Amino acid sequence: GVIKLETDNTLLNDVIVTQSIGKTRVTPVAMSNVDQATIDLKLGQQEFPEILKTTPGVYTNKQGGGYGDAETRMRGFKSQWVAVTVNGVPVNDMENGNVYWSNWAGLSDVTSNIQTQRGLGASILSTPSIGGTIAITTRTLDVDRGGSLWYGMGNDGMNQYGFKLSTGVMKNGWAVTVLGAHRWGDGYIQGTAYSGYNWFFNVSKRINEKHEISLTGMGAPQTHDQRDNLYGGLTVEGWQGVRNYMGDESPYRYNPIYGYDNEGRERTSKRNVYHKPQFTLRHMWQIDNTSSWATSVYASISSGYGYNGQGRTSTMRNWWNGANSGQLSTKFRRPDGTFDYGAIQDMNAESTTGSNMVMSKSNNSHQWYGLVSNYKKFWDMKNGDRLAVTGGVDFRYYVGDHNNEIIDLYDGEYYMDDADRASVNPKDNAAAADPNWKYEHLGVGDIVYRDFKGYTLQEGIYGQMEYTMLDKKLNLVLSGAVSNTAYWRDDHFYYDDEHSKSKKVNFWGGQIKGGANYNIDRHNNVFFNVGYISRAPFFKNAFAAYNTSNVLNENAVNEKTFSAEIGYGFSSRIFALTLNAYYTKWLDRAIMRSGTMQATEDRYVLNLQGIDARHMGVELDFTFKPATWFELNGMLSLGNWEWVSDATGYYYNSIGQP
Q: Which tens digits make up the pLDDT trace of 213-245? A: 999 999 999 999 998 866 666 788 878 888 889
Q: What is the mean pLDDT of the chain?
A: 87
pLDDT of residue 439: 64
Say how far apart CA 193 and CA 481 lie, in whole Å.
45
Q: Which of 1-15, 365-379, 404-418 has the lowest mean pLDDT?
A: 1-15
Beta-sheet strands, E only, within 207-356? 211-219, 222-225, 259-260, 266-267, 271-275, 278-288, 291-311, 323-324, 327-328, 339-340
Given a cut of 70, is residue 80 above it in pLDDT? yes
Given a cut of 60, is residue 562 above it in pLDDT? yes
pLDDT of residue 565: 96
The fraction of the chain above a pLDDT of 90, given in percent, is 57
pLDDT band at 70 (very low <50, low <70, confident <90, very high): confident
Given a cut of 60, is residue 252 above it in pLDDT? yes
Given a cut of 50, is residue 635 above it in pLDDT? yes
Given a cut of 90, is residue 307 above it in pLDDT? yes
Given a cut of 90, is residue 361 above it in pLDDT? yes
pLDDT of residue 8: 47
pLDDT of residue 42: 81
Q: Which of 23-27, 82-86, 163-167, 294-298 has the lowest mean pLDDT?
A: 23-27
Say how far apart CA 8 and CA 141 lie, in whole Å.
12
Q: Which of 108-112, 197-201, 614-618 has the lowest mean pLDDT?
A: 108-112
Contact 405, 363 (CB under 8 A): yes
Given a cut of 50, is residue 15 above it in pLDDT? no
Contact 262, 342 (CB under 8 A): yes
Average pLDDT over residues 270-278: 95
Beta-sheet strands, E only, within 167-290? 174-185, 194-206, 211-219, 222-225, 259-260, 266-267, 271-275, 278-288
pLDDT of residue 431: 43
Residue, of 198 and 657, whose pLDDT is higher = 198
Given a cut of 70, is residue 136 above it in pLDDT? yes
Average pLDDT over residues 112-127: 82
Given a cut of 60, is residue 438 above it in pLDDT? no
* pLDDT one-digit tens code per residue, 403-436: 999 999 999 999 988 765 544 444 444 444 444 4
Q: Which of 42-51, 503-512, 582-591 has the lowest mean pLDDT?
A: 42-51
Given a cut of 50, is residue 9 above it in pLDDT? no
pLDDT of residue 141: 62
- Parallel, antiparallel, or unpaired for β 339-340 and 259-260? parallel
Closest to 634 (Cα-Cα) out of 581, 582, 577, 568: 577
pLDDT band at 649 (very low <50, low <70, confident <90, very high): confident
Given a cut of 50, is residue 554 above it in pLDDT? yes
pLDDT of residue 311: 92
Given a cut of 80, is residue 504 above it in pLDDT? yes
pLDDT of residue 20: 60
Would you call 253 exposed, middle or buried from its count of C-beta atoms within 10 A (0-12, 13-18, 19+)?
middle
For residue 2, how many other CB atoms are within 10 A of its CB?
3
pLDDT of residue 231: 61
pLDDT of residue 421: 53
